[in-house]
Structure 1
Amino acid sequence: MPRRTATMLASTLVLIALLCAGVFFPVPYAEMSPGPTVNTLGEADGEPVLQVSGHKTYPTSGNLNMTTVRVTGADYRMNLVEAVYGWLAHDSVVVPHDTLYPNGKTEEQSTQENAEEFSQSQESAKVAALGQLGIPVASRVVVSSVQKDSPAEGTLHAGDVIKAVDGAPVRQPQDVAKYVTKHKPKERVVFTIVPAKDAAAAEKAGREPTTTQQVTITTRTSDEGDRAIVGIQAGTDHTFPFTVDIKLADVGGPSAGLMFSLGIVDKLTPGDLTGGRFVAGTGTIDDAGKVGPIGGIEMKLVGARKAGARYFLTPADNCAAAASDTPEGLTLIKVNTIKDAMASLEKVREGATTGFPSCSAG
């Protein structure tokens, strides 16, 4: 065989071997890509995303779209060829697998966590929206969950209202840990509670619960060995003056909070927040209306622009990443709070294309 032919054959075989290795050799990466966007003022699966009963609502127009990101599953093993293609593609991002699934988190665990965050984001979106409108919302500190085989198991239950710890009034969830950790392990701590069933009955009857109980729990050492615990997670429960339901399946995580809250405000006030224009956005939101950062901002921008958005409400902490690669025709608007977003939407209604709080690459 001529030397040239032998060299070409050898090179071809090496190339084939490398391609095979690329296809079959898994790499520790995962992929993020643009997910669907949903108009919070519109419908999903044939029913309104936002449903209000017990309060007057008003017609809306335009779009206030929440945005999503698709990710590969925890068990999916990307090969080298797919990783290289993802790195080169403009509409996807390849990230270390542990970025999406840290500490060996399974897909089931991630889904459950995302569902819990999504539920909490809906509650905060409602509180923030009503706060923006000056509508009071009653809140209380409750037992969110009880750790299995913990000192509190069988004594405290999810939904119990925590009124005091060792006689000290509890006004926010972090108060519970503050008071419990004043104790040493194996010391007793006294909780003043309203049992969940009594609290639910009082809420249904439209009154404040009047009956409280005191329960005593002996603390134990935390798994880290650095403090006393009883094994509960405290959270906040709200009593709304009317019903606001958010109907949206197959979505998880907290990043739709801002857009849900703006959609609720639009439904409850005359006129249109957008002036009929297409606005998309993202951002977590807390009860006070503060907007927080999210992941996958680049993919959300791409998804929003493909859907037709012209304006994008961007959490301030995501601004630098968003400004570094903004799709053509999309105006970024920096927001720190729901109040910021409302002020900018007033300019959107007027047809402004400049003068918004801007994002800059940095």
Structure 2
Amino acid sequence: MAGFEREIRAKASSEHPTTSSARTVTPETEISETELKADIARRSVPDHLSARRQRWALPLLTVSWMLLLVILASSLWRIQRWETAPGSAQEVASRIAFEQKDQATAPTRYPAVNKIRFVTAFTGQLSALDSVIGWLDPHVAVETYAEHFGERSPTSIRQLGVQSMLGAKQLAEYVAFKKLGFEATFTAGAVVVAELVCETSPAATSACKVLKVGEMITAFDGVPVATVPALKEAMKNRKVGEKVVVTVESDDSPEDQSRTLTLIENPDKSGTAIIGFVPADTRTVVLPFDVQIATPDIGGPSAGLAFTLALLDELTPGELLGPSRVAATGTMNEKGEVGAIGALEQKAIAVRDAGARVFLVPAGQSESEILRARQAAGSRVKIIPVATLEEALTQLLTLGGAPLPPVTR
């Protein structure tokens, strides 16, 4: 028998030299009944230990289920907290469409390799669980209702956001097409309350107390005012402290409402009366052809600079951005000036996460805002403040972008 075992080992070793140890046959070892019982005894759990484990098992299971239910409930329970968090940095070009208008031909497009990105921040009401996560994230702002909305309602904020986005598109189209030599004009729009002007101790009949953001004024002391210029005309020769009646369209009521308010003094021009609100820019631009920039479910005016650059890039040959992946944020006015925006820090993170390497931001942001944005984005994103469209184009040129062609129209 021993010789047979050696023969098997030798044969196995010669056929499979790398696994010879696995093929070794080990002689069986006999275990006595006494040794078997002793081994079983060693492996057995004493009765008092088994009972202790059973006593702990049910409470631990109960606590685990309760913890799971608490986490689930806290993720579904909405509380009075709102967040401002990093959003996204998306290309503008794919959202632009040009259509023929009347007899005019739609302009020629020159698709670029690198496309400018506009940047968003995310806002929304939080669950209890999300609020805890937000508080732990240094780049997420968690606010109370009053901090987030102020004196405005969520509905009015949404309305103003939609109106602001529409205004940003109109201004971007006006500035871009004017820059390229196209004919572009404005048509006045409705009177919509964008911001209230409040005195230190506003009276009960001041606009600060009587009007709401997002409401539309359609008449002033019985005179229809369909546009902002019409309201300015109706306000001529009015005195501070004078009481007037305005007709208002509001989402709070299906019918127009008449409200009496007291005119206040213009804080920027002593002795001059104002109603006490800043109107939204509701003008629409008139162009030789129709332009559409699709932004469903996105509000606010901060994409003005990005929209303007995207239109210029699409309507001219060459790479306006050069080799860089560029994002931009900032409002745009009809003079080509870039205005400050909110949530710069959160937008800087969105730019970083999108892989962009250059971020054009308004020069009007505070030093601390720009510093926090740079810290949040890290060294891979170059943040460049610009005050005007011309400054933005100059910066792109230094980064290797193509200059705009001379105007021939």
* TM-score of Structure 1 vs Structure 2, range by shorter chain: 0.5 to 0.7
CA RMSD of aligned residues (A): 4.0
Give 1:336's aligned amino acid: A
Between the aligned partners of 1:101 and 1:286, the Cα distance in structure 2 is 25
Q: What residue in structure 1 maps to residue 149 of structure 2?
A: 101
Q: What residue in structure 1 maps to residue 133 of structure 2?
A: 85
Measured after TM superposition, the shift of residue 65 of structure 1 is 0.5
Measured after TM superposition, the shift of residue 281 of structure 1 is 1.7
Matched, 1:181 2:224: no
Q: What residue in structure 2 maps to residue 284 of structure 1?
A: 331
Q: What residue in structure 2 maps to residue 137 of structure 1?
A: 184
Deviations 1:226-258 (A, max 9, x none): 6576x9968544322332211221111111111
Greater C-alpha Rg: 2
For the residue of structure 2 that corresponds to 1:121, the secondary structure is helix
Give 2:238's aligned amino acid: T
CA contact (8 A) 1:91 1:299 kept: yes
Alignment of 1:110-149 (within 5 A): 110-144=157-191, 147=216
CA contact (8 A) 1:220 1:228 kept: no
TM-score, structure 1 as length reference: 0.65
Between the aligned partners of 1:331 and 1:228, the Cα distance in structure 2 is 43
Give 2:399's aligned amino acid: V
For the residue of structure 1 that corresponds to 2:224, the secondary structure is coil
For the residue of structure 2 that corresponds to 1:34, the secondary structure is strand
Between the aligned partners of 2:286 and 2:312, the Cα distance in structure 1 is 18
For the residue of structure 1 that corresponds to 2:336, the secondary structure is coil
Q: What residue in structure 2 maps to residue 305 of structure 1?
A: 352
Measured after TM superposition, the shift of residue 110 of structure 1 is 1.8
TM-score, structure 2 as length reference: 0.58
Alignment of 1:1-362 (within 5 A): 29-41=81-93, 43=94, 48-51=95-98, 53=100, 54-73=106-125, 76=126, 78-79=127-128, 82-103=130-151, 105-106=153-154, 108-144=155-191, 147=216, 150-151=219-220, 155-156=223-224, 158=226, 162=229, 176=233, 179=236, 181=238, 185=242, 222-223=261-262, 227=273, 236-318=283-365, 319-349=370-400
Between the aligned partners of 1:220 and 1:110, the Cα distance in structure 2 is 22
CA contact (8 A) 1:66 1:256 kept: yes
Higher helix share: 2
Question: Cα–Cα, structure 1 residues 224 and 152, in superposed 2: closer, same or farther, change >3 Å?
Answer: closer
Question: Cα–Cα, structure 1 residues 225 and 258, in superposed 2: closer, same or farther, change >3 Å?
Answer: closer
Question: Cα–Cα, structure 1 residues 180 and 278, in superposed 2: closer, same or farther, change >3 Å?
Answer: farther
Measured after TM superposition, the shift of residue 221 of structure 1 is 5.8
Question: Cα–Cα, structure 1 residues 320 and 91, in superposed 2: closer, same or farther, change >3 Å?
Answer: closer
Between the aligned partners of 2:302 and 2:234, the Cα distance in structure 1 is 27
CA contact (8 A) 2:98 2:107 kept: no
Question: Cα–Cα, structure 1 residues 31 and 299, in superposed 2: closer, same or farther, change >3 Å?
Answer: same
Identity %: 26
For the residue of structure 2 that corresponds to 1:69, the secondary structure is strand
Give 1:103's aligned amino acid: E
Deviations 1:5-24 (A, max 9, x none): xxxxxxxx9xx99xx8x969
CA contact (8 A) 2:186 2:285 kept: yes
Measured after TM superposition, the shift of residue 269 of structure 1 is 1.2
Gaps of at least 5 residues in structure 2 are 1-62, 101-105, 193-214, 246-257, 266-272, 403-409
CA contact (8 A) 1:311 1:332 kept: yes
Give 1:57's aligned amino acid: R
Measured after TM superposition, the shift of residue 179 of structure 1 is 2.4
Measured after TM superposition, the shift of residue 91 of structure 1 is 4.7
Between the aligned partners of 2:148 and 2:228, the Cα distance in structure 1 is 34
For the residue of structure 2 that corresponds to 1:30, the secondary structure is strand
Question: Cα–Cα, structure 1 residues 282 and 225, in superposed 2: closer, same or farther, change >3 Å?
Answer: closer
For the residue of structure 1 that corresponds to 2:295, the secondary structure is coil
Between the aligned partners of 2:237 and 2:99, the Cα distance in structure 1 is 39
Bigger mean CA deviation after superposition, 268-277 or 128-137: 128-137
Measured after TM superposition, the shift of residue 275 of structure 1 is 2.1
Between the aligned partners of 1:260 and 1:66, the Cα distance in structure 2 is 7
Measured after TM superposition, the shift of residue 129 of structure 1 is 1.3
Measured after TM superposition, the shift of residue 63 of structure 1 is 2.2
Question: Cα–Cα, structure 1 residues 87 and 142, in superposed 2: closer, same or farther, change >3 Å?
Answer: closer
Give 2:346's aligned amino acid: M
CA contact (8 A) 2:171 2:332 kept: yes
Between the aligned partners of 1:287 and 1:178, the Cα distance in structure 2 is 25
Q: What residue in structure 2 maps to residue 206 of structure 1?
A: none
For the residue of structure 1 that corresponds to 2:167, the secondary structure is helix
Between the aligned partners of 2:234 and 2:89, the Cα distance in structure 1 is 39
Between the aligned partners of 2:305 and 2:298, the Cα distance in structure 1 is 15
Give 2:325's aligned amino acid: F
Q: What residue in structure 1 maps to residue 252 of structure 2?
A: none
For the residue of structure 2 that corresponds to 1:280, the secondary structure is strand
Question: Cα–Cα, structure 1 residues 52 and 60, in superposed 2: closer, same or farther, change >3 Å?
Answer: farther
